[in-house]
Every structure is written in C-alpha cells, then in structure tokens.
Amino acid sequence: MKKQLFALIMLCAGMTAQGQTNAEQRRTNAEQRQEFYFSYELIKADGDDEFGSIVVKGFKADDESPSFECRHELVATVSDLSATDVQWVKDAEDINFDGIPDLQIFLWYYTRGQVAEMYAAYVWTSQNGFEEVKQWADLCNPQIHPENKTVTENYRSDINERIFKTYKWNDGNKLELISTRKEKLINE
C-alpha cells in the first residue's frame, strides 16, 4: 500500500512539473512571437502602373534584418488610390486558437460575381516561427470564432445562393471542413 501511495504521489508531482514546463514553454513561445513587428511593400506588376503583389517583412525588436519575409500575388491589381486606408497586415488576431497572435496578409477583394476579402495567413509555431497556412488563401471572407474555436467562410455560389463553410483546426496548422450550409438569397 505504501509503495502504491508513493508511486501515486510521484506521478502527481511529475504531472505538475510537466504542466509547469508546458505553461512556461507557451509563455516563452508567446514572448518570442511578441518581439515581431512588420512592414510591407506593394510591388507594381511588370510594365503596369498598378500593384500586383505584396512583400511582408517581419523584424525582431532589435534586429535590422528581417527574420521573416514572404511575397504574395494580389487577387487583383490595385491602383494607388484604392490602396490607401487598407489594413494590409493584421498581426494581433489568434486565428488557430493557441493563445498566440498570428499573421494575416490582405490579398485584396475577389470581385467576380461577389465581393470577398481574401488573405494569406501564417501561424506562429515554436519550431519554425511563422508557418504558412496554404488553405487560408482559398477562404472567402474568413471569420474567426474563438468562442467555439472555428473558422467560417461565406461566398455566393450563384445569383441566388450563399454558401457558409465551417472549419476547425487539426494537426496544428490544417483546417478541416466540418459543415457546409447553403442559404437562398431570394425565396422562390
């Protein structure tokens, strides 16, 4: 009986130490992420007066050289006038619900038959820093729901139908479709 009690106490002590280690690791990971600030530059398309891509650079607090850099083609070309007053880089929202802010890059509006905001996204990982979520660039109007840890997109599939898709995260950086709902815009 004493051996069993001792083993139980040691198991609990190990779990407590492990819990503290995981909490400390999450805190350190979050602190590393918080050190970043971002800049961006819109790049003109070849031989065009409009912008066709965006380059985003991430800097650690004391570094002059970027620790992170990416380039994305915009969904459509953008004129100088339409590029003002746009939040191109969002870096305060936690899109994968791990408690650490991630990065979204606005890719402009998709406008063929609908208006939809399109973004590229990167989640913060302790191993790799910012890691791209390739699926995110395919989502129309992505909305983040921390209360139930889901992400939804919505778009028009035709003149009379809007589709809502709901996703959850699995394996850290992959979105899994969990439901699809269709809504008629005009009741027949």
DSSP-assigned states of every residue in 103-146: EEEEEEEE-SSS-EEEEEEEEEETTTEEEE-GGGGG-SS-EEET
- Domain assignment present for residue 15? The answer is no
| 2 domain residue, yes or no | no
- In a domain? residue 11: no
Is 122 buried (19+), middle (13-18) or exposed (0-12) by CB count in 10 A? buried
Distance, in Å, from the CA atom of 109 to the CA atom of 53, rounded to the nearest integer, reads 13
- Residue 65 in any domain: the answer is yes
pLDDT for 9 equals 43
Tell me the β-bridge partners of 184.
Answer: 161
Is residue 25 situated within a structural domain?
no
Which letter, b or e, does each residue of 168-178 get, where b requires 16 or more Cβ atoms within 10 Å of its Cβ?
bbeeebebeee
For the stretch 96-150, pLDDT in tens is 999 999 999 999 987 766 788 999 999 998 788 899 999 999 999 999 999 999 9
Q: Domain of 176: which CATH number? A: 2.40.128
Task: Kindly report the number of other CB atoms within 10 A of residue 132's CB atom.
Answer: 17
Contact yes or no for 110/158 (Cβ under 8 A): no
Q: Is residue 9 part of a domain?
A: no
Dihedral sign for Cα 70, 74, 80, 83, please.
Answer: negative
Tell whether the model's pLDDT for residue 13 goes beyond 70. no
Structure tokens that stand for 26 in this block: 């999450």
Is residue 73 one of the residues assigned to a domain?
yes
Domain-embedded: residue 12: no
pTM: predicted TM-score of the whole model, two decimal places = 0.80
pLDDT above 90 for 71: yes
| Domain region containing 59 | 33-184
Residue 4 pLDDT > 70: no
Provide the number of structural domains found in the chain.
1
Would you call 42 exposed, middle or buried from its count of C-beta atoms within 10 A (0-12, 13-18, 19+)?
middle
